[in-house]
Amino acid sequence: MPFTVNEVSPAGVAEILGFDCRTADDADFDRLRRTFQVYPIICIREQTLSPREQANFARRWGPLESQDRSTYCHPDDSDILVLSNERRADGSQVGIVDAGDFWHSDSSHLPDPCLITMLYSVKNPDKGGDTHFLNTRKVYEALPESLKARIEGLNAIHHVSKLLNPRVAVSKEREAAAEYYKAREKETKPVAQPIVRTHPVNGSQALYISPRFTIGIEGMDDAQAQPLLDELFRFMFSNVAWQFTHKWKDGDFVFWDNASLNHMAGGGYEYPDTRRMHRTTIAGTRPFYRPLAA
C-alpha cells in the first residue's frame, strides 16, 4: 500500500497515513520497520483494530510479553492490557488508571525489558490524556564529553516499587497501590541496567535511566550516586527540542522504542470523561553497552 510518512517532530516522531495494520503485506511491513529505526515514535492514524487484530499485528514485530496484571487483560485477547479510567456498575476498575504517570522506559525494572510498546487509542477524553516523549538518543548525543566519561561503563539500579524511590509518589487514585508495591518488593530484586544503552537493532546509544525506575548506581553509595543521577536528569530535561507531546485522536495506533526514549502519561482527565487504550508490548533482550569504535 502506498502509505505516507510525515516527520512531525525532530524529537524522532513520524506520522503514517494510508496504512492499514490489518492488511499490510510483507513489503509494507518492511518499510514500516525501517522507518521505525529512524523514528523511534510512530503514529499510524485512523486504525480500526479489534483486540485480536491488534495482537496479530503486534506479533509481527516479535514475541509479545505476557501481562503480569491479568485483572486488566482484555477478555477477547489476553495479550491486550486495558488502560482506562472506566468503572463498572459495581465500582470496580476496568483497566489500569495511572499507568505511566512519571517519566520512564517500560519495564526497565525487569532483566529483559520490553523493546516496543504499542498503544491503540479506543476512546479519548475531551480534555487531557496526552502522552509525553523524550528522545534519550538525542540526550546522549548532546551530553557533555566530561559527563559521558563519568558514566562510561556504569550500571544503574532499577526497581518497580515507587515506595523505594523518592523521585516519585504513589497515586491516590489507584486502589491498594501501596500494598501492591510492598508485595512487589518482596518478590522482585533490583535490576542493574547500563546507564548508556546500545540499541540492539541499529547500534545507536541512548541514556537509559528514568526518574520512575532508576533508584541508584551499582557499586556507588547514595552520597555519590544520587547527585550524579540528579545531574543526569537535569540534563535530560533541559531541552524541549528532545521532547514531544502526542495529542491523541481516536483510532491512533502509536508505538515506540523503549531503548531510545522515556515517556510519561500526561493525565489531566477525570471520569466520566473516558480514556481507554489497548496496550501490547513486544519482548526485548538484555540491555547492553558497547562502546563506539574509535
Q: Which of 76, 86, 83, 30 shows the shortest CA–CA distance to 53? A: 76
Which value, in Å, is the radius of gyration of the alpha carbons in the chain? 19
At closest approach, how far in Å is the CB of 147 from Fe ion? Answer: 26
The answer to whether 113 contacts Fe ion (rule: CB under 5 A) is: no
Least distance to Fe ion from the beta carbon of 264, Å?
Answer: 8
Q: Which listed residue (106, 137, 195, 213) binds Fe ion by CB under 5 A?
A: 106
Q: Which residues contact 87 (CB under 8 A, 6 or more apart)?
A: 93, 94, 271
| Residue closer to Fe ion, measured from CB, 19 or 243 | 243
* Number of residues forming the site for Fe ion (CB under 5 A): 2
Nearest approach in angstroms of CB 255 to Fe ion is 12
Do 79 and 281 form a contact (C-beta atoms < 8 A)? Answer: no
Least Å from the CB of residue 258 to Fe ion? 8
Per-residue burial over 7-45, b = 16 or more CB atoms within 10 Å of its CB, e = otherwise: eebebbbbbbeebbbeebeeebeebbeeebeebbbbbbb
Q: How far is the CB of 119 from Fe ion (least distance, A)?
A: 9
Under rule CB under 5 A, residue 100 binds Fe ion = yes
- Whose Cβ is closer to Fe ion: residue 24's or residue 118's? 118
Of 116 and 157, nearer to Fe ion (C-beta) is 116
Tell me how far apart the alpha carbons of residues 43 and 255 are, in angstroms, rounded to a whole number: 7
**What residue number has its CB nearest to Fe ion?**
100
Nearest Cα neighbor of 99 from 133, 131, 60 is: 131
Q: Which residues bind Fe ion (CB under 5 A)?
A: 100, 106
